């Protein structure tokens, strides 16, 4: 059974930084593509960023480009999201997601971690 467990969320002032972690188990992490999504109150879940299984290809939503960085440590089965220059509009529940090699969609999701940015 696949488990994704996020951590690192919290309350931070605008302009500050947070680092989220997502530890995976139950899948071959080194061959899984990983991503972060977020959902703000009253809004639909949206894509934040993704990282290929080899770590060589990244993609970011325009709203976070230049501020957020996704990375992975295959030895620790963990993906990270470094968030800098945080803005109040970054406030959301952040979800980690995994996609097995060859899959079309992200089929595995964590429970989410709350990030709140105060102005």
pLDDT tens sequence across 57-75: 999 999 999 999 999 998 9
Q: CA-CA distance, 114 to 9, in Å (whole number)?
A: 5
Which residues of the chain, if any, have pLDDT below 50? none
- The pLDDT, as a whole number, for residue 102 is 84
> Which residue, among 101, 96, 90, 68, has the nearest Cα to 11 in the 3D structure?
90
- The pLDDT, as a whole number, for residue 112 is 97
Strand, helix or coil for residue 119:
coil
Query: How far from the centroid of its chain's Cα atoms is residue 61's Cα?
Result: 12
- The pLDDT, as a whole number, for residue 55 is 66
Please provide the average confidence, as pLDDT, over all residues in the chain: 95
């Amino acid at each position: 059974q696949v488990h994704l467990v996020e951590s690192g969320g919290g309350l931070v002032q605008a302009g500050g930084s947070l680092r989220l972690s997502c530890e995976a188990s139950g899948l071959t992490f080194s061959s899984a593509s990983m991503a972060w999504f977020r959902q703000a109150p009253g809004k639909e879940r949206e894509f934040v960023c993704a990282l290929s299984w080899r770590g060589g290809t990244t993609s970011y939503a325009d709203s976070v480009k230049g501020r957020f960085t996704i990375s992975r440590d295959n030895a620790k089965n963990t993906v990270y999201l470094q968030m800098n220059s945080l803005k109040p509009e970054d406030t959301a529940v952040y979800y980690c997601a995994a996609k097995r090699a060859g899959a079309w969609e992200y089929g595995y999701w964590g429970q989410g971690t709350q990030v709140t940015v105060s102005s």
